[in-house]
Each structure stands twice: as structure tokens, then as C-alpha cells.
Chain A
Amino acid sequence: MKYYSAAVASVLMTLAGAATADVTLTVLIDDNADTSATMQALTERYSELHPDVSFDIEVRPGGSDGDNIVKTRLATGEMADIFNYNSGSLFQALNPTKTLADLSDLPSQANVIDSFKSVVSAEGKVYGIPVGSAMGGGIFYNRKVYADLGLSVPMTWADFMANNAKVAEAGLTPVATTFGATWTSQLFVLADYFNVQIAEPDFAERYTANQAKYATSPAAMRGFEHLQEVFEAGYMNADFGAATYDEGVAMVANGDAAHYPMLTFALGNIVQNMPELLPDVGFFAQPGDDAAQNGLTVWMPGGMYISAASPHIEEAKGFLDFVATVEGCDIQTAANGFQGPYLIKGCTAPDDIPAAVADMMPYFETEGRTAPALEFLSPIKGPALEQITVEVGSGIRSAADAAALYDQDVEKQAKQLGLPNW
């Protein structure tokens, strides 16, 4: 059947007078503009090198709708040959040992940095290669607003709130808030993990073992409290309940808002949608209570994976092997600009890097100023966090209540994963 349809395809190709493509690999990607730019550039270059391989790219929504599509298509064997998806705890929830092709023996894995391999591995096998660069979770700020108001980058949460007060006085929105895209509400909680692990170095371990809880750990609860403080101070934009992610990025880039808590992948959005504003945007880590202990919570990039049900696993591996090379990095840099350190040995930064990335690089260059986000240290992430953080950020639920509710959500996920001690 496979040969038959391939034969039909090649006859059609010949009739159409197009170059014969022996294999068409299907690719499922998320709907971010920068993901699409990256994949276009990578696949075009690969087809130049291998004229017998062509690609058919399909776009899916992000957030929990996207999780649903990926899980269901994998489970029913309808997944595209190649797809991109988060690494870490969301990757673990895909049931990788059954649904994904083993990429442990991919030649380019030799150059992939071990810290990335560990977040796309299950039962000792590696299932993904990195696409994009390591990211920081923190706060974007508008450099023009900071210059006009004479503000400096805050090293403690109190400094950050003092800056917000001055921004509000000047009649601008202090914190762009975009609960129209519910996932964006989680940042204050997730990006606070550097500060959590300063206070409780073994939090991740004890959390996974059902010993540490958000509700009973003052350090872990701080993230929820921050969200509540920002809401209570009235520092959000008027349409915070309906604004979308794209609008949030635009607000901090054009100076309507001073801050936007987000992962640095938003730089790709700026490069694609408003490149002229890139120099106006800076970035800092979410500050904690102690200026001497200031550091960045780091996200691993998403991975590229191959469905175990794909009829073209070998051809797909060839493409992934190409993506995980220095040339692959350079193509990504050309498509979206340099957004942070790559997870592939030998990849380098270009000479001119965006201001926000220049703000972020020092954290990576100093020992002890970065910590991975919790979702890369523990397989458990409760699925309802984004609704719970919307509640706290909209004044519907208190931080303490929310932390306790999230603990229940975490318990549900842990039971579903069949973890011991739960």
C-alpha cells in the first residue's frame, strides 16, 4: 500500500513537472510565528541538501488545546512523522517509551548537552533533540520607559514593586497581564523557582516524593503571593482578563506597559512581528527577597520528536540529525535572531545580539546564578495551574488558598503518573 501510494505520488509529481520527491515528511508544529519561521528555514535548507526529501508542515494551537492534540494524535497513531513539543514534565506525560522513536543512537546526540538530554529521556533512552535555545523565565521591561522614568533594574521584589509604583504614577501600565491566554498567568509562580531553591535546595526532590507542598512552604508560596500583590496594587492593564499573549508582547515592546512577565522565547515574537522595537526591550530575572541572591530560572527549549508510528522513521532521523548541528543552530539564529545559549556544543552567538539577550547572558556566565525550572526537575506539573493563577491574578482566590488547591492538582497528576509515595 505504501509503495503503491508512493508510486502514484511520483507519477503525479512527474506529470506536474515538479522535481521528484521520494519522501514527504509531515511535521506538526505549534502556532508561534517564530516556530514557523524556524521550521521553514530548517526544512528548506534540508530539502536543498536532500532533494529527495520534502516536507508538509501543519500548525496546531499552543497551550492545553495543543497538549490535547499532541497526546490524542500520538495515542491514536495519527501523529505527523515529526513534531515539536515541550521537554521536561510535559514530555514525560506523552508516554514516550510507547509513542516516540528512540533517538539515542542519532550521531548528532554526541554534541547535545547532557542537561538537555536528561529532559527528553525516559527509561534511559533519549527521544528528542533541542530546537531553539535555553530560555530565561523572568520579566521583560521597556528600556525607554526605564530611561524616561530614571528606573534601574530591580534586584529585589520590593524594588520591583517600587518601580511599578513610579510607572503607575506616570500613567503607564506597570505589568502587562494577558489572561486571555491563560498559560501566561503562570509566570510569576514558575519563574520564581530560582528563589524557591535558594531557600529550600531540596524542594524538587521532596516535592516529587510527596513531602514538600506549596501550601506549607513559605518560599514556594511567594510566587502566588506576588501575583496577588500585583493585582491588589492595581498594576495590570484594564483588559487583563481578555488580552492575549501577542498583545502582551506588543505592550512591553511599544512602551504601553513597563513590564511583561514571560519566557525569553517572546523575543522570537518581537523579531517576527515588530523587529524595529527589539532594541527597546530588556530583560531581568524575577527578583526575590535578597539582592545578594539574584538569579534566573531557566527553561530548556522544546524538543523535536519522531512518532513511533511514523512510516518514515529513518528519513525523519536524517532531518533531526541535521537540525542538531552547528549549521542547524546558525539557521535558527538567521531566522529568529539569537535568543540565548544553544544546547548543542560548538554553537556560538553572533556579534550583535538583542539587548534583552545581552541582559540575560551574564546569568548563564556566572556559576550559581541559574536554576532549572521545577518542570525540568520533577515529572509532576498540575494541569490546572493556569486556571488557579488566573484566579489569584484576578482577585478571585487568595494566594494561600491557591497554593493549597494547586497541591491537590499536583496530587492528581502524580497519581495518574503512578509515582511511588502518592
Chain B
Amino acid sequence: MTRKSPYPLWFVAPAAIIFSVLFLVPTLASFWFSLTRWDLFNAQFIGLENYEQFFKEPFLIKGLFNTVFFAAVTSALKTTLGLLLAVLLTSGIFAQGFLRVLVFFPVLVSTIGVGITFSKLMHPTKGAINVALAAIGIDGPGWLTDPALALFSVALVDVWKGIGLATLIYIAGLASISPEYYEAARIDGATRRQMFWRITVPLVRPATVTVITLSMIGGLRSFDIIWAMTKGGPGFSSDVLASVIYKQYQAGFYGLSTAGNVILFLLIAGIMLPLTARLNRKEVEQ
């Protein structure tokens, strides 16, 4: 299957060097350091002890579950709400351009800024959300301090921040659907609901694949929004794999946290490779 590259070696060399130095070497080095007790000065080879320790982490199982939960919830919401928003924003409604800007705007704001802002808004007694709820007689929950709710609250903020990108991709996807299909359907007497399910959803599939892939990868490795809002707390209740790893690094357990990163890498690869293969295959079959 190998075919000769149309480019000469000197043409690809600069990119190859940058790729090796910044990506390939560190990745390979991290496999080595994950097998050591490492304090950034000395690395002492300890075999698979870091992996053993990492899997013994009492918060790891919770962190793994939370990682998958967070990725699934944010990805599902971004996909469904993103598509609905895209349909709305391509329907020629009033001030369409301005509304598109509004939806996309949170994507441009720094994640840490969004996290800090929302953690103030979600303060259990002084936050704007609970103050507003109290005004209409509802005793608002501790959005970020109730262990059962914290991760879900963060997921909602992540959706708010990320939905603009999903919507943008869907708008592009919708634009590529030929209007002739809708015309033909209308002549045949199809309802709007039927057109949505029978034409829009199947034909926008390439966009759906992109949105799911991007939001799943983003969700599985998400860290900044969670760290800015809860630091994995209260206790360990909103810890994800990335925050567990970061805490090992914070404690100076560099070898252990590198082992955690290798596991995260394998987890993402393990979920995403079959998923993308499956999504792409279906696309081809159509």
C-alpha cells in the first residue's frame, strides 16, 4: 500500500525534525519516565510500580468514571443542542448573523475566565444564580459544593462554552445539503418534522461525526474548566483522570503522574480509535 511521496526529503525534513523533537521524543521519554521514581533530578527505575500505585489510587475508579461521564454528557449535549441551534440559525430568523455571533462568542473566551466567572455565579449563598432563584422562592442547590451535582454543573458550563463550535460545524454541514432534497420532499408532502429526521439528520452526518469526535476527545482530556471551577472537589467528587494526574504532579510524584498520562493516552486511543473507525465506516456504507 505504500506509495511514493510526491515531496522530496528536504521538503519534509523541517516538519519531521519539529515533530520528532517536540512530540515523538517526549512521548517516548514519557514511557520511560513512567517506569521510574522521578524527582526531576534523578530517575530511579522501579518497573511497573507506578502503574500498580496508580491503579491502587482510591480516587482513580471514581476519576475514570467521571472522565467518561463528563465526556459522554458534554458530547451528547453539544451534538443535540448544536444541531438544533444550527437548524434555528440557518432558518432565516430575525438578526440571524447577530445571534450566530452570540452563540459562538463563549468559544473565544478563555476557559479559566469562564470557569472563575461561573464559580462566582454558582456560589451557594451569594452567587447570582441562587440569589435569582431565592427571589422566586426556590432554595437553590450548592451547584459546585454538592458532591452529587458538582461535576454535572461543570459539564453544563463546558457545554455553554463549547456549543458555539459544534453549532458552527453544523451550520457548515447544513449549508452543504442541497436545497433540492427539501424541495422534492415538500412536493411529496413531507412535514417539517419528517424533513428534519429523513433529510437533515442523515445528510448532516459528516458534521455529526466531526462534532462527536472533537467533543469526545475534548471531554476525555478536559481539565482546565474542572480545575478552575472545583479543583476536583468537593473532596474527590468531580475528579477526572486529568485532575488526578495533575495532583500527583503537584505533589512532586513526577514518575507517577507520567504513568497516569500514559494511561490517559491509552484510554483516549482505546475509546477514540474504534469510535472513529465505526463512525467513518458507516459514512462510507452510505
Is B truly associated with A? yes
Point out residues on A near B: beta carbons under 8 Å.
64-65, 67-68, 71, 75-76, 93, 95, 98, 179, 182, 238-242, 383-384, 387-388, 390-391, 394, 396-397, 405, 408, 412-413, 415-416, 418
- The answer, among B59, B234, B249, for a CB contact under 8 Å with A241, is B234
How many chain B residues touch A (CB < 8 A): the figure is 33
> Chain A nearest CB: distance from B264 CB in Å?
19
Q: Are A391 and B236 in contact (CB under 8 A)?
A: yes
10 A-B pairs (CB sep. < 8 Å): A67-B251, A68-B249, A179-B145, A182-B233, A238-B124, A388-B235, A391-B234, A394-B147, A394-B235, A416-B252
The majority secondary structure among interface residues of chain B is loop
Q: How far is the CA of A387 from the CA of B250 in the complex (A)?
A: 14
CB-CB contacts of B123-146 with A at 8 A, as 1s and 0s? 111100000000000000010111
* Nearest B-chain residue to A412, judged by Cβ: B53
Q: Are B232 and A387 in contact (CB under 8 A)?
A: yes
Q: Is B215's beta carbon under 8 Å from chain A? A: no
Q: Are B234 and A394 in contact (CB under 8 A)?
A: yes
Chain B 36-63 residues near chain A, CB threshold 8 A: 37, 39-41, 44, 53, 56, 58-59
> Chain A nearest CB: distance from B276 CB in Å?
35
Point out residues on B near A: beta carbons under 8 Å.
37, 39-41, 44, 53, 56, 58-59, 119, 123-126, 142, 144-147, 231-237, 247, 249-253, 256
Which A residues touch B40, using CB under 8 A? Answer: 75-76
* Nearest A-chain residue to B150, judged by Cβ: A241
- The answer, among A179, A240, A383, for a CB contact under 8 Å with B247, is A383
> Chain B nearest CB: distance from A401 CB in Å?
10
- The answer, among B41, B124, B145, for a CB contact under 8 Å with A95, is B41
Q: How far is the CA of A98 from the CA of B126 in the complex (A)?
A: 47
Which A residues touch B252, using CB under 8 A? Answer: 67, 71, 93, 416
- The answer, among A95, A387, A415, A418, for a CB contact under 8 Å with B235, is A387
Q: Are A396 and B126 in contact (CB under 8 A)?
A: no
Q: Are A390 and B58 in contact (CB under 8 A)?
A: no
Which B residues touch A65, using CB under 8 A? Answer: 250
Known interface pairs A242-B142, A384-B59, A391-B234; 19 further A-B residue pairs with C-beta atoms within 8 A, sorted by A's residue number: A67-B251, A68-B249, A93-B252, A95-B41, A179-B145, A179-B233, A239-B125, A240-B145, A241-B144, A383-B250, A384-B251, A390-B234, A391-B236, A394-B234, A396-B147, A397-B235, A413-B251, A415-B53, A416-B256
